[in-house]
Chain A
Amino acid sequence: MQATRDFSHYVKHLGSGLAHIDLAVEGVNCAGCMSKIERGLSAIPDVTLARVNLTDRRVALEWKEGALDPGNFIDRLAELGYKAYPFETVSAEAAEVENSRFLLRCLGVAAFATMNVMMLSIPVWSGNVSDMLPEQRDFFHWMSALIALPAAAYAGQPFFRSALNALRAGNVNMDVPISIGVILALGMSIVETIGHADHAYFDAAIMLLTFLLVGRYLDQNMRRRTRAVAGNLAALKAETATKFIGPDEISVVPAAAIRAGDTVLLRPGERCAVDGSVIEGRSEIDQSLITGETRHAAVEAGSAVYAGSLNISGALRIRVSAAAEGTLLAEIQRLLDHAVQARSRYVQLADRASRLYAPAVHATALLTMIGWLIAGASLHDSVITAIAVLIITCPCALGLAIPTVQTIAAGAMFRAGVLINSGDAIERVAEVDHVIFDKTGTLTLPELDVVNSAAVPADVFELAGRLALASHHPVAAALARAAGAKSPLPGVTEEPGQGVRGSFGGEEVRLGRPSFCNAEDLAEQVLRRDPEASVVAFARGEQPYVFAVRQGLRPDARETVAALQRRGIAVEILSGDREPAVRAAAETLGIPEWRAGVMPSDKIARIEQLKRQGVKVMMVGDGLNDAPSLAAAHVSMSPISAAHLSQATADLVFLGKPLAPVIAAIDYSRKALRLMRQNLYLAVGYNVLAVPIAILGFVTPLIAAAAMSGSSILVMLNALRGRRVRQEQV
């Protein structure tokens, strides 16, 4: 049965006889790769477009419909030395891209308007102290109005919309004072221009929008980039399934194209991409990603299999069932829904600040107006002074204070291998004082590793690795990987259910079950020392060897736990695995508090208990069984190898083998929170200085412009300090 590959799910038809596909490509990081790929792909006849996007690490391809199969491109890229995967743009990412473009358009319009209004304002400022004629000043003011009004109406949309949404929901966010400030400044300027006054504030209003849009765009671009990388990683994980399209005909299709009722083939060593029940075959499966249990479970016809299970020994035919039909999944889904509902909405620092800020500013402006009226000023002068107070306090620096720090911190965390799923995660991570780890796949690596390689001679280890290349069994695959084997032995035959045999240097070599290699006694000894391991035996001639294989701890797990404890953070393990395995891990890592055999609902109960004591819990887990507790915790983190549901639930996702990103996330977030607070103080401090000048009525447009840009630049420079944290580290 030779499988065909079916990529039609990913192909977009553009009309005019052209088809389009996006591929995520691994290892594109220089100009050389870019032109190599583009030239290599364009050389294929009928390709009309091949363009690499270096930012997103993707390549866009267009070709004459029907002339080519997308598989050709993937093969061609493989020849060039690049691994490529078909890529589906998720709607969330498409929305991010669209939003980012819209903000850039707004920024372009606002920047154009600011520059041109400034060009007209500077003659007015200098003319006011020299010999400008009133008619000339009016002309300049009207020209400014002509530019600033339409530009503000367009470029202010992001703020106006957000403010309107907040007001409708009965809230106040930072965009409400921004919108009020801009609209009042423009309105007052028009009235003043009509009244032939000396001052108009068109420049201040439009400059405010420009500065704020810079902050918004940077923020959005950072999010978009994180999302693109996360999307690529999802594509690289290559969720495909082997579907039966005839009685004996199979095709590799993306998991998203599988429907309930389809029959799929699951070969040994493959991870199941669907939920379903076995209709034919007999095997053992590893469900550690779902339950945390590392011991393999036996399955046969009628057994339920969940997405994420790893098939160990025999091929299985699986009938796909509708999602969440299984009792375990349904239970997890129910707990997850409950946890998400129960999650109290976290009020972000920016919103808390604006809740205090908006009423204070508006009250100050009102009091200024009343004060001047009592002091005997005219209504016109009082209103003008009050609006000047609003303009000078308009939260330019305040609006930049938090997003700039978030952008810088997210960028730094991105480089440390942490992707941020939700915007307010940085603030929540900074508050964490208790970290709960899941064991399987989180403290340990998801892949199997050989743990007793030191006890076996190096040449035997290497030879066993080369022989293991012939087998699909995950344990054999782990052996081959650990031995770094590259060249398979020739002429290897497989004995189903037993192992593989070949010959090397005139001697017979065998790899498989202990009984297959006459190594039962040795295997028993190894298992007695390390009861958690799986064993695979190897025989060279009559000399047997036994390898113990299991999930190893992440390389820096011990250091990371120690580093957390040094920071005064309590560490705990909650695992669904059996007691001996959890105890061993906890003892190795020096974690005093651990629980084994914990059900998803018990994990939540423990988190709720800690929450009631006022502890801010960070949950780090990867399994499907962790998803509800990830949602219940104050903040949550998942490795990139985690089950889909868990990854979608987690606030942060970390990449790679080390556990150090957990420390990086906490360090950068704590620093970021400190900088956000400093920035808020800076912005408020500036207001404390500027507001008395405004209340006394001494503010001219020149002072407003200088103060606004000065404070904004100060806040941005302070935010840049978030790029580094002290290198005490792990």
Chain B
Amino acid sequence: MEVIAFLVPLALLLGLFGLLGFLWSLKNGQYDDLEGAAWRAISDDDETPTTSGPSAAHRGV
């Protein structure tokens, strides 16, 4: 049973990575247009011209 002393923190660490990923995606503006994101996922166009969010300086708006 001693192994839980090692496994539980490991599980938490993995969860924490998930949380950090979520916070990063939020900061990156990926939740600003949920309706549009739903459509983009099934869009046929391969050559999406600009895929990144608005540039860093503008993110706060």
Residues 22-65 of chain A, each 1 if its beta carbon lies under 8 Å from chain B, else 0: 00000000110011001100100000111111111000101000
Beyond contacts A15-B57, A53-B36, A133-B1: 12 other A-B pairs, Cβ-Cβ < 8 A, are A14-B58, A31-B39, A31-B42, A34-B40, A34-B43, A53-B33, A94-B61, A97-B32, A101-B26, A109-B19, A112-B15, A115-B15
For residue A77, CB closer than 8 A to chain B, the reply is no
Contact A51 B35, beta carbon cutoff 8 Å = no
Please, which residue of chain A has its CB at the minimum distance from the CB of B22?
A: A108
User: A52 near B57 (CB under 8 angstroms)?
Assistant: no
Q: Is B43 touching A35 in the complex (CB atoms < 8 A)? A: yes
Contacts of B8 in A (CB 8 A): 120, 139-140, 143
Closest to B51 in A: A51
Please indicate the chain B residues that have their CB under 8 angstroms from the CB of A98 in the complex.
60
A34 to B42, CA, bound (A): 12
| Residues of chain B contacted by A316 (CB below 8 angstroms) | none
Q: Does residue A727 face the partner (Cβ distance < 8 Å to B)? A: no
Whether the Cβ atoms of A20 and B35 lie closer than 8 Å is no
Within 8 A of A (CB), among B21-50: 22-23, 26, 31-36, 39-40, 42-43, 45, 48-50
Pick the residue among A94, A116, A139, A147 that contacts B5 (CB under 8 A): A139
Residue A119 CB within 8 A of the other chain: yes
A104 at the interface (CB under 8 A from B): yes
Beta-carbon contact of B58 and A55 below 8 Å = no
Residues from chain A with a CB closer than 8 A to the CB of B34 are 55
Roughly how many angstroms separate A34 CA and B37 CA in the complex, as a whole number? Answer: 11
CA distance A54 to B42 in the complex (A): 15
A124 CB to nearest chain B CB (Å): 12
Q: Is A259 an interface residue (CB 8 A)?
A: no
With an 8 A cutoff between CB atoms, is A12 at the interface? yes
Instruction: For the complex, give the distance between the alpha carbons of A50 and B48 in Å.
Output: 11
- The distance in angstroms between the C-alpha atoms of A109 and B32, with both chains bound, is 18
Give CA–CA (A15, B58) in the complex, Å: 10
Cβ–Cβ < 8 Å partners of B45 in chain A: 35, 39
Within the complex, the shortest CB–CB distance from A367 to chain B, in Å, comes to 40
Q: CB within 8 A of B61: which of A51, A97, A147?
A: A97
- Take A53-B32, A54-B33, A139-B5 as given contacts and tell me if A38 and B49 are in contact as well, using a CB distance cutoff of 8 Å: yes
CA A42 to CA B55, docked complex, whole Å = 15
| A436 and B20 alpha carbons, distance in the complex (Å) | 54
A109 to B1, CA, bound (A): 30
Q: Is the CB of A119 within 8 A of B11?
A: yes
- Do the beta carbons of B55 and A51 come within 8 Å of each other? no
29 sample A-B contacts, Cβ–Cβ < 8 Å, listed by A number: A14-B58, A18-B55, A20-B55, A31-B39, A31-B40, A31-B42, A31-B43, A34-B39, A38-B48, A38-B50, A42-B50, A48-B50, A53-B32, A54-B39, A55-B35, A56-B33, A62-B58, A89-B61, A101-B31, A104-B26, A105-B26, A109-B19, A112-B16, A112-B18, A112-B22, A116-B11, A136-B4, A139-B5, A140-B8
A126 at the interface (CB under 8 A from B): no
The 5 A-B residue pairs with the shortest CB-CB distance, nearest first, are A54-B36, A31-B39, A42-B49, A53-B33, A112-B19
Query: Can you name the residue of chain B whose Cβ is closest to the Cβ of A102?
Result: B26
State in angstroms the CA–CA spacing of A39 and B45 once bound together: 10
Give the residue name and chain of the A residue nearest to B49 (CB).
Answer: A42
In the bound complex, what is the Cα–Cα distance between A624 and B55 (angstroms)? 41
Q: How far is the CB of B42 from chain A (nearest CB, A)?
A: 7
A688 to chain B, nearest CB (A): 38
- Within 8 Å CB of B48, what residues of A? 35, 38
Contacting residues, chain B, for A487 (C-beta < 8 A) = none
Q: Are A108 and B23 in contact (CB under 8 A)?
A: yes
Taking a contact as CB atoms under 8 Å apart, the answer to whether A104 and B31 are in contact is: yes
Neighbouring B residues of A14 by C-beta, 8 Å: 55, 57-58
Q: Is residue A16 contacting chain B, with contact meaning CB distance below 8 A?
A: yes
Closest to A143 in B: B8
Asked whether A62 lies within 8 Å of B31 as measured between CB atoms, the reply is no
Chain A, residue nearest B21 (CB): A108
| Tally of contacts, chain A with chain B, CB under 8 A | 99
B interface, over-half SS: helix
Which chain B residue lies CB-closest to A93? B61
Chain B residues with CB below 8 A from A109, complex form: 19
Residues in chain B near residue A18, CB distance under 8 A: 55, 57
Known contacts A39-B49, A49-B55; decide if A30 and B39 are in contact (CB<8 Å). Answer: yes
What residues of chain B lie closer than 8 Å to A38, measured between beta carbons? 48-50
- In the assembled complex, the CB of A317 is this many whole angstroms from the nearest CB of chain B, namely 38
* Chain A, 71-92, CB within 8 A of any chain B CB: 89
List the A residue with the shortest CB-CB distance to B5.
Answer: A139
Report B43 CB to chain A, min CB distance, Å.
5
**Closest chain A residue to B1, Cβ basis:** A136
Find the B residue at minimum CB distance from A123: B4
Q: Give CA–CA (A35, B57) in the complex, Å.
A: 25
A54 surroundings in chain B (CB, below 8 A): 33, 35-36, 39
Nearest B residue (CB) for A94: B61
CA distance A49 to B29 in the complex (A): 14
In the complex, are the beta carbons of B54 and A62 less than 8 A apart? yes
User: Bound complex: CA of A67 vs CA of B6, how far in Å?
Assistant: 59
Cα distance A104–B32 in the bound complex, in angstroms = 11
Cα–Cα distance between A14 and B55 once the two chains are bound (Å)? 9
Please state if A143 and B55 are interface contacts (CB–CB under 8 Å). no
Across the two chains, which residue of chain B brings its CB closest to A43? B49
Q: How far is the CA of A18 from the CA of B42 in the complex (A)?
A: 31
Measured CA separation A721–B18 after assembly (Å): 35
A2 to chain B, nearest CB (A): 33
Closest chain B residue to A146 by CB distance? B12
State the CA gap A108–B18 with chains docked (Å). 10
- Which of A53, A98, A133: most chain B CB closer than 10 A? A53
Question: Chain B residues with Cβ under 8 A from A97's Cβ?
Answer: 32, 61
Closest to A147 in B: B12
What is the CA–CA distance of A48 and B1 in the complex, to the nearest angstrom? 57
Contact A55 B57 (CB under 8 A): no
The residue on B at minimum CB distance from A30 is B39
A-side contacts of B54, CB under 8 Å: 20, 49, 51, 60, 62
**Nearest-CB distance from A713 to chain B (Å)?**
23
**Is B50 in contact with A116, judged by CB distance below 8 angstroms?**
no
Q: Which residues of A contact B36 (CB under 8 A)?
A: 34, 52-55
Q: Would A55 and B32 count as touching, CB distance under 8 A?
A: yes
Residues of A within 8 A of B43 (CB): 31, 34-35
A109 to B26, CA, bound (A): 12
For the complex, give the distance between the alpha carbons of A48 and B49 in Å.
Answer: 9
Could you tell me the distance between the alpha carbons of A99 and B33 in the complex, rounded to whole angstroms? 16
Specify which of A31, A51, A108, A119 is in contact with B19 (CB 8 Å cutoff).
A108
Across the interface, which residues of A come within 8 angstroms of B32, CB to CB?
53, 55, 97
A133 to B4, CA, bound (A): 13
Residues of A within 8 Å of B19, CB to CB, are 108-109, 112
* Nearest Cβ on chain A to B32's Cβ, whole angstroms: 6
Could you tell me the distance in whole angstroms from the C-beta of B49 to the nearest C-beta in chain A? 4
Contacts A42-B49, A112-B18, A116-B12; A105 near B58 (Cβ below 8 A): no
Across-interface contacts of A52 in B (CB, < 8 A): 33, 36
